[in-house]
Structure 1
């Protein structure tokens, strides 16, 4: 077994274990922190696939910005156990049926994927930031600049809307 295989197995176990802890945790803040661990494990998988840009964006955007936003929302909601509404049995039944259906779809996909070709790991330079930057600033420079102007106008619009009279 090579170092890539061992790293993949360890990152997979970390992601699965953290995902189980995220789902089974009663405290929403602990669930969010376990989700951050899942995002870091997924970023490790991206690095193993030679997609460094996706790994960095995953850490910055998901593990950074969105998880901080989730923490703020949970803190502002002031979740107390005594103010929690009663659980609806019908919704629990619908959730069990939906989860079972998803499990059946995943199992059928795994059964049909017996003859799948293995993925080439750590080969080529398709996911490197250098290659992405070269393509982005040569072939797609006009759409990139248009999208940056669009984001700038959206930020100015958000400031204007949020400004008090």
Structure 2
């Protein structure tokens, strides 16, 4: 139980560092650490499939995409537009709402009972594999063919046409 609270503290700390970091690249790196702590939470909850998907998809693919976008945008202080007072007021309202939610969560922390699973092997990858490759084998294979055809189409669209010499 102490490990859960430590990882929860790290999740909140890294999420706050994402928000308050001045450098956008550091912010994305803190977001990767936040997603890693979520992966640890999924493992503690015995949901290995969600942990693997979170690790591969969010930490791997999406965060690399965020880093590429930030590097391509070339964010400079000179090109940043001045925010209007309406945007600043909306930020204050959003921050106040976040503060209310955090206070309510802290108040409800001691009142909740722990969740006890009736099936201990509920989130195991073995059970998902049995269902996925048993009952849903045909839709799984059809979706893999659709993803493959989308990948081939993306490669064909991305390649430049070479002019035909007469």
Q: Is this a same-fold pair by TM over 0.5?
A: yes
Once the two structures are TM-superposed, the CA of residue 130 in structure 1 deviates from its matched residue by 0.9
Aligned counterpart in structure 2 of residue 45 of structure 1, from 27, 33, 41: 41
Report the equivalent of 1:74. 70
| Larger Rg belongs to | 2
Mapping 1:2-13, distance limit 5 Å = 5-13=1-9
Residue in structure 1 matching 2:12, options 16, 19, 22:
16
Distance 2:72 2:121 in 1: 44
Aligned to 1:94: 90
The answer on whether the counterparts of 1:21 and 1:31 sit within 8 Å (CA) in structure 2 is yes
CA–CA separation in structure 2 for the residues paired with 1:143 and 1:114: 44
Alpha-carbon RMSD: 2.5
Alpha-carbon contact 1:52-1:127 (below 8 Å) kept: yes
* C-alpha distance 32-83 of structure 1, shift in aligned 2 (>3 A): same
How far apart are the structure 1 equivalents of 2:46 and 2:126?
12
- Equivalent position of 2:147 in the other structure: 151
TM-score using structure 2 length: 0.85
Aligned to 2:122: 126
Report the number of matched residues: 161
Counterpart contact for 1:48–1:122, Cα < 8 Å? no
Structure 1, unmatched stretches of 5+, are none
Distance in 2 between residues matched to 1:101 and 1:45, nearest whole Å: 25
8 Å Cα contact 1:50/1:121 also seen in 2: no
Output the CA distance in 1 between the equivalents of 2:135 and 2:113: 31
- Provide the rounded CA distance (Å) in 1 between the counterparts of 2:12 and 2:100: 19
Q: Could you tell me which of 61, 65, 77 is aligned with 1:65? A: 61
CA distance, structure 2, for counterparts of residue 27 and residue 128 of structure 1 = 38
> Which residue of structure 2 lines up, in the alignment, with residue 32 of structure 1?
28
Give distance in 1, aligned partners of 2:111 and 2:136.
37
Structure 2: stretches of 5+ with no match in the other structure: 162-166
